[in-house]
Amino acid sequence: MQKERIVINMNISDLERGQKFRVKKVHIAGEIGKRLADMGFTQGVEGVVVRSALFGDPIQVRLMHYNISIRRSEARGVEVESLGFGDGHGHHHRHRHGAGR
């Protein structure tokens, strides 16, 4: 179903602690993908990787002003673009959104 193949396929699991990101696309279908989208992992939303648990899994992400924990396997299904490392937490704003045509 994917028309445009994205060259650099970066996902949340690739990010490091403190790295900010903008969501591009959720690649998992079914319950997990829908749950991720319902919790706000939708195109254009920005977040930051806060930390990971012992042995690197699961990952704590701050998204839309709240904290959420996802497994690495789930994080791998969320394609993002990196926004680099910023100072402190919680400074992220949305710039574009899908609808509104």
Partner 1 sequence: MRFKKTIKIGLAGNPNSGKTTIFNALTGSNQKVGNYPGVTVEKKQGSRLYKEIEFVIYDLPGTYSLTAYSPDEVVARDFIIDEKPDIVIDVIDSTNLERNLYLCLQLQELGIPVIGALNVMDQARSMGLDINDKELSSLLGIPMVRTVGIRNEGIEELLDRVIECLGRQTCNTKMVSYGNELEDEISKITEVLVRDTVFAAIYPPRWIAIKILEKDRNVLGRLSAHSEKDLVKKISDGCIKEIEKHFGRDSEIVVSEQRYAYVHGAVMESVKRNEKSGAQISEHVDRLLLDRILGLPIFLAVIWAIFQITFKFGEYPMRWLEAFFEWVSRYGTLYIPQGILRSLIVDGVVGGIGSVLSFVPLIIILFFLLSLLEDTGYIARAAFITDKFLHRFGLHGQSFMPMMLGFGCSVPAIMAARTLKNHKDRILTVLITPFMSCGAKLPVYVLLAAAFFPQNAGNVVMSVYVIGVLLALFSSVLLRRLVLRGEETPFVMELPPYRLPTLQGILWHVKEKTWCYMKKAGTVILGASILIWAITTFPVASGSGYNGLEHSIAGRLGKVIEPAIRPIGFDWKIGVAALTGFSAKEVVVSTLGILYKVGDEDQGQSESLREALKNDPGVTPLVGYVLMLFILIMPPCFAALAAMRAEIGGGWLLFSFFYNITLAWVVCFLVYQAGRIAGF
Residues forming the site for partner 1 (CB under 8 A): 1-4, 25-26, 29-40, 42-45, 50-58, 60, 64-71, 73-74, 88-91, 94, 97-101
**CB–CB of 86/50 below 8 Å?**
no
Q: State the Cα–Cα distance between residues 77 and 13, nearest whole angstrom.
A: 9
Nearer to partner 1, 60 or 82 (CB): 60
Nearer to partner 1, 14 or 37 (CB): 37
Nearer to partner 1, 27 or 82 (CB): 27
Residue type, 31: E
